[in-house]
Chains A and B, each alone.
Chain A
């Protein structure tokens, strides 16, 4: 599945109302580790058809970042049925990511 760039306007429909689990990558344009994470997320997106992956720019969507307690980038939050189920902070390998998210 393709990685979608979402905003505060589309967050509700794309993430909270989604039936499938959604992994949201809270990133910032200026964040190096976020850039390093991108190809890893891209590979996961290609492999996992049952997982939706979205990217949210924290500088453009400050309120959402605050609401979900994002204090560092990258932070990845896995949403299940509209609930923030798991949170991973910082750059990690693909294996670590999949393991921590039990995917």
Chain B
């Protein structure tokens, strides 16, 4: 079995930051990633709030992290971790391909977009339903779209879409937005943006391609069909913690319980970034978690 000191699961910002620190500490470091590296930040057109970097695209940021980790000596493999086992003081991480042993594991699986929970939502994903306006918005140039959600992501998605869509309807189930006031004002000034508060989406219409959505005003008890080609869901996230559900303690929402030291309920297993219980989930805090977890892991491994 291949032996490592530290195995990091997930090659997003937290995972790759951890890899840089673990590898630079001289530890044999492996990063396992089931999809592509970079995590959620690759969907950001521009990152403008990372201290010390005025502006960078999410992809360039992610690729910079990847290259930095590899150059520091970390090995990054595109294999999905499917199981973690404990064997004496060692931890075994299994992928579909092979098993790897290590002294410490850093869980950095991140979070993914929460679905709206509508019938046929999965079926129509990619055919009108999307969770990323930055990624898929361009497919709906000149068309009618809708955005669901009340936070900053929803507001910014609506703003981005309004640049090139014929019309954008922002739908939120409450009467006020959680996101920044400034952005709401900006949206209100745009002639092609319609804002529906106290409104929910109840059904998706269209055979193989989305043609409209059924919406319901909760206060007026009124329901109607809104013709749209694209529906962008921005209703929050859900942690990717299935891998360790039976291994470490999770909170009620499925986030891995760990404090600022990134230690989980199991010695030698750390949690970093968006999959951890925490107040703030930002790029800089994900990187900070990676560093903290790596240095703690290095003391053990």
Contacts and interface: CB of A to CB of B under 8 A. Distances in A.
Interface of A: 32-33, 35-37, 39-40, 43, 91, 93-95
Contacts of B62: 36
Given A32-B42, A93-B78, A94-B78, A39 B59 contact: no
B188 interface: no
Contact of A36 (B36, B77, B79): B36
Interface string B47-80: 0000000000111101100100000000011111
A93 B57 contact: no
A39 B34 CA distance: 13
Most chain-A Cβ atoms within 10 A of its Cβ — which of B34, B36, B38? B36
Given A43-B77, A43-B78, A37 B36 contact: yes
Contacts of B38: 36
A91 B38 CA distance: 13
A99 to B, nearest CB: 11
A39 B66 contact: yes
B120 interface: no
A32 B36 contact: no
A75 to B, nearest CB: 15
Contacts of A95: 34, 80, 96
Contacts of B78: 39-40, 43, 93-94
A3 to B, nearest CB: 15
B37 interface: yes
Nearest to B80: A95
A91 B36 contact: yes
A95 B36 CA distance: 11
Contact of A39 (B58, B60, B76, B80): B76
A36 B59 contact: yes
Most chain-A Cβ atoms within 10 A of its Cβ — which of B57, B62, B77, B78? B78
A93 B59 contact: no
B35 interface: yes
A93 B78 CA distance: 8
A36 B57 contact: no
B42 A36 contact: yes
A89 B78 CA distance: 19
A35 B34 contact: no
Nearest to A96: B35
Nearest to B34: A93
Given A36-B63, A95-B34, 16 more contacts: A32-B42, A32-B59, A33-B42, A33-B59, A35-B59, A35-B63, A36-B37, A36-B59, A39-B36, A39-B66, A39-B76, A39-B78, A40-B36, A93-B34, A93-B78, A94-B78
9 contacts: A32-B57, A32-B58, A32-B59, A35-B59, A36-B59, A43-B77, A43-B78, A93-B36, A94-B79
